[in-house]
Amino acid sequence: PAVVALRERFINEESKFSENFQAMTYVAFLHTDPDEKQHGINMHAMRHLVAETHLEDHPGDYIGAAAKLNDDVEQIIKTYGDKDRTKAMRRVAEQYAL
């Protein structure tokens, strides 16, 4: 009931979040609690949001992301390293029109 109220208030009614963010949090929610089929923002999804946002604003700053999440730098690199590397390769390709 409390999760449903949170969903209604912040996701469906007043949210300025994109549909992509809603989908991402729902997928994360289903992974953490696969028997519960409802939308919701949970701590796992919020951690991913914090890390992704930090690395988008500060590419390659795994230490900063780890500090924000109170996690090991190695775990941050393992989880987000490939995504950051892919973004960097895209930036280089766009810069040099490859």
Please state, in angstroms and rounded to a whole number, the distance separating the CA atoms of residues 68 and 63: 9
Taking each continuous run of H as one helix and of E as one strand, the counts in the chain are: 5, 0
52-93 confidence digits (pLDDT tens): 889 888 888 999 999 999 898 999 888 888 776 677 677 777
5-29 confidence digits (pLDDT tens): 655 555 554 445 555 666 666 677 6
Helix (H/G/I), strand (E/B), else coil: 16: coil
Residue extents of the structural domains in the chain: 1-41, 43-98
Look up the pTM and report it: 0.49
Written as six digits, the tokens of 65 are 């992301």
Please state, in angstroms and rounded to a whole number, the distance separating the CA atoms of residues 76 and 25: 19
Find how far residue 70's CA is from the centre of its chain: 16
Please state, in angstroms and rounded to a whole number, the distance separating the CA atoms of residues 16 and 66: 27
The pair phi, psi for residue 28, each rounded to 5°, is -60, -40
